[in-house]
Structure 1
Amino acid sequence: MVALIGFAMIVAIVFLLLKGKMSPIVVLTLIPAIAALLLGFGPVEIADFIKDGVKTTTSNGILFIFSVIYFGVMSDTGMFDVIVQKLVKLAGNNVIAVTVATALIATIAHLDGTTATTVLITIPALYPVYKKMKIDTRILLCLTGACMGVMNLLPWGGPVARAATVLSMDANDLWHIMIPVQILGLIANIAVAVLLGMFAIKHGAGQGKGEEITVDEKAQQEEEALRRPKLLIFNLVLTVALLAVLSTGVVTSYVAFLVALSIGLAVNYPDLKLQDKLIKKHAPAALIISATLFSAGAMVGVFDGTGMLTEMANVIISFVPSFMGQYLHIIFGILALPLGLCIGTDAYFYGIMPLVIEVGSTYGIDPLSTACAMIIGKNLALMVSPLVPATYLATGLTDVELKDHMKFSIPIYWGVSVVMLIVAVFLGVVPLH
């Protein structure tokens, strides 16, 4: 009975999240609570489950609030724009240099972990260059998505924070484990950029005159008012110092972001009204993500408190051939990208991952290994999934049909994800068994 209600709860959560009929906050809080009531637990007991679960997400939720606002403010100062312009200028009329510059720009732009921001920084800046040089804009989309997927392994990236919530650990600690795999992924993306540049040249890129694209001067003027070009060096040093502190782990991640944000605002915008305006501008996105994390913690608390996951795992184990059990995490690591295309981020991490982790644990697989394997492919599916709003933003800005983007990019993304998984196994981040 416990397992049956648990499976029904998972199906309900995944179904509602896929349909988009309710906020993830509502789904992840109410459905587990209803399931617990059906199992005979009282309101006070359920409240305690939720409280225990939310406690495990506090640091990650606070991290999201300050990290999203920090990188949003840095974007307002024009720090990313200056880097983009320099890289585009260095690339010149060399097709391969342009594709490599695309990978570098998308990588840097996704430091904030926000998909829409990365799309709006990368694509509008490079789209005119691609049209002028007659480079297939599917390449622009593909490289942007690949770099976003690898950079999303940062601790303030949604997937890592969600996986850390399921594991009841700090997102920064999980990132430290994944750093070698992330570095390999970044190198793989540069290699892909070179190969796609060669592909573009073979198909006529860089030959003859392409299209000239006009820019919206009014929008540029509005953005210029917030730019701080004279403080570029300061902002770069501040951001590099912040990343250095985060990589060492000497200070709690959200404390580092809080201090960096305060310094950045004080130096760039020493005016109360302007500071309030910028915080209010970026706070909604930060608070929605954080609130979702807290509600996910509530779900995990109910999972643990009621013992549903254990009972569900026992049922699944009876159907899994014993010789496959010890490789369950590898199997799901390989299937992570196609699963990520079909299942939304919240449904994947809060519905599928806990169950796979529980089943894997019965075969002696470390929950951390399962989570690491499942994160890689899901991240690469980010910008090619029809369930991600930023995918439509990107395809719209490049005037590419979603089906064309998927046909072109999915094989490349899957290849990169499998290579990263193999390296993760080789380095011991994801032990084979």
Structure 2
Amino acid sequence: MLSILGFLMVISIIVILLKGKMSPIVVLILVPLVAALIAGFGIEEIGEMVKGGIGTVQNNSILFIFSIIFFGLMSDVGVFDGMVSALVKRAGNNVVLITVATGVIATIAHLDGATATTVLVTVPAMYPIYKKMNIRPQVLILILASAMGVMNLLPWGGPVARSAVVLGMDANDLWLRLIPLQVLGVIFTLGLAAILGIIEKKKGAGISIEEATAIEIGQEDDIKGQDLKRPKLLWFNLLLTVAVIGTLVWDVMPAYLVFMIGLCLGLVINFPSLKAQDARIKAHAPAALVIAATMLAAGVMVGIMDGTGMLEAMAGSMLSIVPDFLGRYVHLVFGVIALPLGMMIGTDAYFYGLMPLVLEVGSQFGVEPFNTATTMLVGKNISLLVSPIVPATFLALGLVDLDLKDHMKFSFKWLYGMSILMLIASILIGLVHI
């Protein structure tokens, strides 16, 4: 009974999220609550389950709120503008350097973990150069997609935070274990950018285009955006950003506290007045609060699945149909299909609906949950900007006037190759065990 009810609950959550007819917050709270009531649990019992589930996600929710606002603030004051401009100028009209610079810019821009921000920083800056140098826009979006997929392994990136919730661990602790793979991912992305640049050059791109060196980043910024820049405080803001990231790696205090302190210093130094500080917080709070609220809602689902025994019952049912010879490789199977699966299933449905089941089944065959989560996480990340159910995909395509089918046809094979390469790398460096 619990197993059937659990599967119906998960299927309902996935279907409703895929249809996009209801907020993930509503779905992740109401559906599990209804399932628990149908299973015969009382209000008081359900309350204790939810309390336990919320307790596993609250730290990551706080981390999300303050990290997104912090990086949004650093973007406002122009921390990344100078780096982007310098990279473009140095690349000049060299096609390979332009594509590699695109990878570097996208990597830096995605430090805040916000897909829309990364798209709006990278594409407007690079697309005019791509047009002047006759480089196909598909190349720009592909490099952007790869960089975003790799940088989403940061602890304030949605997939890592969601995986941490499912694993019941701190997002920063999960990220510290993923750092070697993320470093390799950045190298792979820049390598991919170089290969694409060579291919484009052979196709005739970059012929006598001197205007490329004259393009300045931020020419089209509106007056309001320019008013937020703090060029005289650039070094302070750069050092503050480096200090925040360095403290996270050092792991001497809770990650959310690091961003709390960083945000406070950034606000006080850059915007001394109360009115200006409130304006900056309000500008970035909506995105931060929606994600944090979704994570807390997921805590309700996690608590109910664990507390009712649904997860264990569902895993037992799946276990009975998985061949013994395949069971110990279940994490690798899902690692291989993670990208195409991630393209079709929304982030919340993937991490909060599918992942808990696969983790439980894998653990029954002796596969550590971390192994399974890592293989599923990497492929899903790389699928981010090639998925038709991710709004940022259409934002990026709209900025370069590119059809979704042309983008998917061009990018899928490269991104799938990147996904498999990351999976192999995770095995070779001992992050994932066979």
Judge same fold: TM > 0.5, yes or no.
yes
Alpha-carbon offset, residue 44 of structure 1: 1.1
CA distance in 1, matches of 2:208, 2:74: 38
Give 1:232 shift.
Answer: 1.1
* Residue number in structure 1 paired with 2:241: 239
Q: How far does the alpha carbon of each residue in 1:55-87 deviate from its partner, in whole angstroms, 9 at most, with x for none?
A: 000110000000000000001001111111111
Q: Please state whether the residue corresponding to 1:292 is helix, strand or coil.
A: helix
CA distance in 2, matches of 1:197, 1:293: 39
Matched ranges for 1:33-432 at <5 A: 33-208=33-208, 219-432=221-434
What is the CA distance between 1:208 and its match in structure 2?
Answer: 4.8
What amino acid maps onto 2:190 in structure 1?
A: I
Alpha-carbon offset, residue 52 of structure 1: 0.4
Bigger mean CA deviation after superposition, 274-283 or 222-231: 222-231
Distance 1:284 1:48 in 2: 29
What TM-score results when the alignment is normalised by the length of structure 2? 0.97
User: Amino acid of the residue matched to residue 201 of structure 1?
Assistant: K
- For residue 69 of structure 2, what is the amino acid of its counterpart? I
Q: Please identify, of 79-88 and 103-112, the stretch whose mean Cα deviation from structure 2 is larger.
A: 79-88
- What letter matches 1:156 in structure 2? W
Matches of 2:172 and 2:222, distance apart in 1: 36
In the aligned structure 2, how far is the partner of 1:24 from the partner of 1:277? 27
Return the alpha-carbon distance in structure 1 between the equivalents of residues 218 and 147 of structure 2. Answer: 27
CA displacement at 1:211 relative to structure 2: 9.7
Say which SS state the counterpart of residue 80 (structure 2) adopts.
Answer: helix
| Partner Cα separation in structure 2 for residue 16 and residue 210 of structure 1 | 52
- CA gap 1:209/1:101 in 2 versus in 1, 3 angstroms: closer
Relative to structure 1, the CA distance from residue 129 to residue 391 in structure 2 (aligned partners, 3 Å threshold; closer, same or farther) is same
Distance 1:316 1:211 in 2: 60
AA matched with 2:289:
L
The Cα RMSD (Å) is: 1.5
What SS is found at the alignment partner of 1:70? Answer: helix
Contact kept? 1:17, 1:27, Cα under 8 Å: yes
Distance 2:188 2:286 in 1: 34
Deviation string, structure 1 residues 159-192 (Cα, Å, up to 9, x no partner): 0000000011100000011111111111100110
Alpha-carbon distance between aligned partners in 2 of 1:155 and 1:2, rounded to the nearest angstrom:
33
Q: Separation in 2 of the partners of 1:118 and 1:209?
A: 26
Deviations 1:87-141 (A, max 9, x none): 1011111000000000000000000000000000000000111111111111110
What is the percent sequence identity of the aligned residues?
56
The CA deviation at 1:228 is 0.6
CA distance in 2 between counterparts of 1:350 and 1:327 reads 21
CA distance in 2, matches of 1:397, 1:215: 16
Q: How many residues align?
A: 432
* Structure 2 runs not aligned, ≥5 long: none
Q: SS where residue 252 of structure 2 aligns?
A: coil
Q: Report if the CA contact (8 A) 1:134-1:210 is conserved.
A: no
- Shift in alpha-carbon separation, 1:320–1:210, aligned structure 2, 3 A: farther
CA distance in 1, matches of 2:410, 2:236: 40
Instruction: Give the distance between the partners of 1:244 and 1:419, measured in 2 at CA.
Output: 28
Instruction: Note the alpha carbon deviations across 1:286-334, whole angstroms, 9 max, x for none.
Output: 0000000001011000010011111111111121111000000011011
Give the superposition deviation at 1:221.
2.1
Number of the residue aligned with 2:26: 26
Native 8 Å contact 1:133 1:210 kept in 2: no
Q: Answer with 12-21 or 418-427: which moved more.
A: 418-427
Contact 2:185 2:422 in 1 (8 A): yes
Give the deviation of 1:427 after TM superposition: 1.8
User: Do the aligned residues in 1 keep the contact of 2:244 with 2:262 (CA within 8 Å)?
Assistant: yes
Matched letter for residue 136 of structure 1: R
**2 CA distance for matches of 1:5 and 1:94?**
59
- Contact 1:131–1:210 (CA<8 Å) still a contact in 2? no
Q: Give the aligned residue type for 2:326.
A: M
Distance verdict in 2 for CA 1:216–1:229, change over 3 Å: closer
Matching residue's letter, 1:30? L
Letter in 2 for 1:132: K
The answer on whether the counterparts of 2:107 and 2:148 sit within 8 Å (CA) in structure 1 is: yes
Structure 2: distance between partners of 1:47 and 1:202 = 63
Q: CA deviation at 1:202?
A: 1.1
* Whole-Å separation in 2 of the counterparts to 1:317 and 1:95: 52
The whole-number CA distance in structure 1 between the counterparts of 2:234 and 2:379 is: 35
Report the Cα distance in structure 2 between the residues aligned to 1:216 and 1:261, rounded to whole angstroms.
Answer: 24
Q: What do residues 133-163 of structure 1 show as CA deviations (whole Å, max 9, x unaligned)?
A: 1111111100011000000000000000000
**1:206 to 1:218, Cα distance in 2 relative to 1, 3 A:** closer
Task: Specify the SS of the correspondent of 1:56.
Answer: helix
The aligned amino acid for 1:114 is A
Q: Distance in 1 between matches of 2:313 and 2:161?
A: 26
SS in structure 2 at match of 1:57:
helix
User: Runs (4+) of structure 1 moved beyond 4 Å?
Assistant: 208-219
Cα distance between partner residues in 1 of 2:219 and 2:70 = 26
TM-score normalized by structure 1? 0.98
Contact 1:330 1:373 in 2 (8 A): yes
